[in-house]
Amino acid sequence: MIKAVKKGPILEITVPKKWAGITLNHLFQDDWHAPKKLVHEWRMSRTAGIKGRTEGWEAPLSPGDIIQLPLFYSEQPPDFAEFMDIDVLYEDDFVLVLNKPAGMDTHPSQPGDKNSLQNAAAFYLMMKGEPILPFHIHRLDKDTTGAILFAKDRLSAAILDQQLEKREVKRTYLALVHGLMKKKQGTIKEKIGSDRHHGSRRRVSASGKDAVTHYEVVKLFPEKNMTLVKCRLDTGRTHQIRVHLSFIGHPLAGDVLYGGRPILPRQALHAWNLRFPHPLTEEWIEVHAPVMDGIIPEEQN
């Protein structure tokens, strides 16, 4: 675990043994892949460096050195924040995980839009004395509930984006589907592309993008002819779980777009578990999001 501490607008990181001999340039560009604009700001302001040392960014690091970075400052547009009740699942100085309710977008689709989780997160942080624009690392459909990860600063956002691309951010969903699934577990590897006959729908398509969904039966409900399924994603295509489960003949309950019957007010899909390496400390964080509206039964242990 790497020691990373917020001190006002400054981030202080204690250099671990594994960084011995590398340079700040290497750390910023090759390890973190920090945004070029952010690195340029640090370079031009001459405020990023090693505490108590005058050497430049090409000097080798030593274990115990303290890296100081000007990282925390306001990035929030004045009209962005909006009060809404939110369920905070995890928070520290760098990341925030919220439990998104149904009927709410993850983020505004265009400037000025309100009623999104990002609006609510900005207001929550502003009321805590952190007037910043939180960065959403992934998305959920408007009527899908559950855990969404936000970063509080540009460096953490960049590192988490890379982790998501490298499939280090692990997401597990609960889905209630029509029919009794015969296989206890399986993997769906079907490419997903746009449906040219329907602007908002996706479909399995040979010309689409690779998509991999792993599923496991949690519980059968014979009296309702339904199955509770746990799904893990290797990819993050739009509507991936909804498309894949419909493709194998088990559409989500309430998901009329993909063949589900309208027996529920929304599609029965919930982002139940989120596991990821902390962008700065590298400690693994695991968060469970309880189902808030009772649409989906909680996992049976």
What pLDDT does 176 receive?
Answer: 98
- Answer with the one of 169, 187, 205 that is the final residue of a domain: 169
Residue 75, domain member (yes or no): no
Which CATH number belongs to the domain containing residue 30 in this structure? Answer: 3.10.290
Given a cut of 50, is residue 136 above it in pLDDT?
A: yes
What confidence category does residue 132 fall into, taking pLDDT thresholds of 50, 70 and 90? Answer: confident
Of these residues, 141, 153, 161, 255, which one is catalytic?
A: 141
Residue 301, domain member (yes or no): no
Residue 78, domain member (yes or no): no
136 is in which domain, residue-wise? 87-169
As a whole number, the mean pLDDT across the chain is: 93
Name which residue leads in pLDDT, 301 or 102.
102
What pLDDT does 113 receive?
Answer: 82
Given a cut of 50, is residue 301 above it in pLDDT?
A: no
pLDDT digits (tens, 9 = 90+) for 225-239: 999 999 999 988 999
What pLDDT does 198 receive?
Answer: 82
Q: Measure the CA angle with vertex 95, ends 152 and 124; round to 5°.
A: 65
Residue 288, domain member (yes or no): no
Percent of the chain with pLDDT over 70: 97
What pLDDT does 18 receive?
Answer: 96
In the annotation, is 210 catalytic?
A: no
Which CATH number belongs to the domain containing residue 203 in this structure? Answer: 3.30.2350.10
pLDDT digits (tens, 9 = 90+) for 27-67: 999 999 999 999 999 999 888 999 998 888 999 999 999 99
Mean per-residue pLDDT for 156-165? Answer: 96
pLDDT digits (tens, 9 = 90+) for 64-110: 999 999 998 776 555 778 899 999 999 999 999 999 999 999 999 88
Domain count, the chain: 3
Residue 283, domain member (yes or no): no
- Answer with the one of 169, 191, 211 that is the final residue of a domain: 169
Looking at the fold, whether 165 and 177 belong to one and the same domain comes out as no
pLDDT digits (tens, 9 = 90+) for 247-295: 999 999 999 999 999 999 999 999 999 999 999 999 999 999 999 999 9
What pLDDT does 4 receive?
Answer: 97
The 10 Å Cβ neighbour count of residue 282 is 13
Look at the alpha carbons of 240, 241, 247, 252 in this order and tell me if their dihedral is positive or negative. Answer: negative
Residue 280, domain member (yes or no): no
What pLDDT does 200 receive?
Answer: 86
Residue 99, domain member (yes or no): yes
Mean per-residue pLDDT for 107-129? Answer: 89
Given a cut of 80, is residue 300 above it in pLDDT?
A: no
pTM: 0.93
